[in-house]
Amino acid sequence: MADINTINKDFADLFNQGKQLLMEGSSEIMNENRSKAFQDFERLGVPTRANENYKYTNLIPAFDHPYNVNLRYLKVDVDLNEIFQCDVPELDTNMVLLTNGWFYGNNKQLLELPKGVIVCGVQEAAQKYPEIFNAHYGKYAKPGEDGIVALNTALAKDGLFIYVPKGVVVEKPIQVVNLLRSDRDLLATQRNLFVIEENAQAKIIVCDHTLTHHKYLSNSVTEINVAENAVFDLYTLQNQHLNSVILNSTFIRQDAHSNVLTNTISLYGGTIRNNHHVLLDAEYCENNTYGMYLMDHKQHVDNFTCIDHAKPNCVSNEHFKGVMDDEASGAFSGRINVRRDAQKTEAYQSNNNLLLSNEALINTKPQLVIDADDVKCSHGATVGQMDEDALFYLRARGIDEKEARQMLMFAFAHEIIEKIRVEALKERIDELVDKRLRGEISKCNTCAVACNH
């Protein structure tokens, strides 16, 4: 196994050798951030377990692999039927496609979008809408604090750009399908920027899918700015094969009276690490952060969240639930930060876990860092098995044990699904989770490639 220094050096070499290609086609501001972030990466490197924030996730095996890197958009053949299989069928959405972290060249024009809404690739946005792009790009993510965010910023070329102008309500959810499809092992770097202006409303559904059986390392960073009075929903559905590694960092900044709901559902994936940062940067914000993970085999999931209450009178709710089976391992690390003078803050956090096997492992770390006195904060964490009384109740009514366990597990997970604010998606996820818990989808159910996982 390569040691961390070799891995870091390989990336440094990659950056130095590919500099020309990296700079090409990117806007000035992207390249400015790129150089700075590379210096950060040289200082930080890929985070190891010595880093307190990565205590429970060992990234070295994920990075210790000769991946290919695309520094240019490569045309990928996508069979649209394949994608529609993956699509949530009853759902009426605006769909956009990204392949290997790049905006798909043949995306159809989204005609049904309200006037002024922009959905395009990041490279394109940097050229066509520099005012919007430059005002927000690189303003929320913090490459100086996390090696993988620095690496993303240094290598980022493209991703998705969404802009919702003042007062515009996008009724239909925008569905983003991230496809990983390649004929070789790939490191995909994706950089997204979503800007939701004052009084605007939008819902985004992100589905991650791997279409080929190659080993993937997907390192994506999403920056989101939600302006005053805006309402924004982000649903992330992670459903990839066991050979893939997902590193997903989201940075959300909220302005006064804004309302944000995120729900991250991890159904399948080899190693998943979600970094979720929320900055409540003005008064009277509401943030709801939910997540669910259903892991078996040797999968690993690590949800790291940080809700930063910088201003008074904000409310945040955070709830993560997980079911761990086989030899799966999971970690949850939640931090609520209440800064000095952020009075009248209300922040709640909880994490519940079901352990179904003795080989499964869960590490949870709910944290409160509070520097103001007039606050209401609480957190709770539980790890346990199914309630035997509830099981008995069901069995006494003639339900066999397997089905009873199934029902209880489903009810356990449903608490998170319930929070979804798109009715059709809620039903679809319910169905997916039910199937997933029954073991009927042993892999991404939409994956057209019959890989052995």
Partner 1 sequence: MAKKEQDKILDEVTKSDYKYGFVTDIETDIIGKGLNEDVIRLISSKKKEPEFMLEFRLKAYRHWQTMTMPKWAHLKMPEIDYQDIIYYAAPKQEAKLESLDDVDPELLETFNKLGIPLDEQKHLAGVAVDAVMDSSSVKTTFKEVLAERGIIFCSFSEAVQEHPDLIQEYLASVVPMHDNYFAALNSAVFSDGSFVYIPKGVRCPMELSTYFRINAANTGQFERTLIIAEEESFVSYLEGCTAPMRDENQLHAAIVEIVVKGNAEVKYSTVQNWYPGNKEGKGGIFNFVTKRGICEGENAKLMWAQVETGSAITWKYPSTILKGDGSSSEFYSVAVTNNYQQADTGTKMIHIGNNTKSTIISKGISAGKSDNSYRGLVKVTKNCEGARNFSQCDSLLLGDKCGAHTFPYLEIGNKTARVEHEATTSKIGEDQIFYCNQRGISTEDAIGLIVNGYAKEVINKMPMEFAVEAQKLLQISLEGSVG
Residues within the interface to partner 1 (CB under 8 A): 52, 340-341, 343, 353, 355-385
Q: How far is the CB of 287 from partner 1 (least distance, A)?
A: 18
Amino acid at 154: A
- Shortest reach from residue 277's CB to partner 1, in Å: 18
* Total number of residues shown for the chain: 453
- Using the minimum distance from each CB to partner 1, give the nearer residue, 112 or 359: 359
Give the containing element (helix H, strand E) for 441: none
CB of 201 or CB of 317, closer to partner 1: 317
Output the smallest distance, CB 49 to partner 1, in A: 13
**DSSP track, 391-433:** HHHHHHTT--HHHHHHHHHHHHHHHHHTT-S-HHHHHHHHHHH
Nearer to partner 1, 27 or 53 (CB): 53
**Closest CB to partner 1 among 207 and 355?**
355
Residue closer to partner 1 (CB basis): 257 or 365: 365
Contacts of 200 (CB under 8 A, 6+ apart): 164, 165, 166, 167, 168, 169, 170, 227, 230, 231
DSSP codes, 45-64: -S--TTSGGGTT---HHHHS
From the CB of 338, what's the least distance to partner 1, in Å?
A: 8
φ, ψ for residue 395 (rounded to 5)?
A: -70, -35
Minimum separation from the CB atom of position 289 to partner 1 (A): 18
Closest contact distance (angstroms) between CB of 99 and partner 1 is: 39
- Residue 35 or residue 363: which is nearer to partner 1 going by CB? 363
**Residue 263 vs 352, nearer CB to partner 1:** 352
- Quick check: 407 and 400 in contact, CB under 8 A? no
Task: Report, in Å, the least distance between residue 364 CB and partner 1.
Answer: 4
Calpha distance 367→333 (Å, rounded):
7
Closer by beta carbon to partner 1, 47 or else 159: 47
In terms of Cβ atoms closer than 10 Å to its own Cβ (0-12, 13-18, 19+), residue 272 is: buried
In the bound complex, what is the minimum distance in angstroms from residue 372's beta carbon to partner 1? 6
Look at the block and give the residue holding tokens 């052995």: 452
SS3 content of the chain, % helix, strand, coil (to 5): 25, 35, 40
Main-chain phi, psi angles of 392, to 5 degrees: -65, -40
CB 51 within 8 A of CB 43: no
* Measured distance CA(37)–CA(44) in Å, rounded: 10
Contact 377, 339 (CB under 8 A): no
What is the closest distance, in whole angstroms, from the C-beta atom of residue 388 to partner 1 in the complex?
Answer: 11
Place of tokens 């996982």: 453
Name the residue nearer to partner 1 (CB basis): 179 or 347: 347
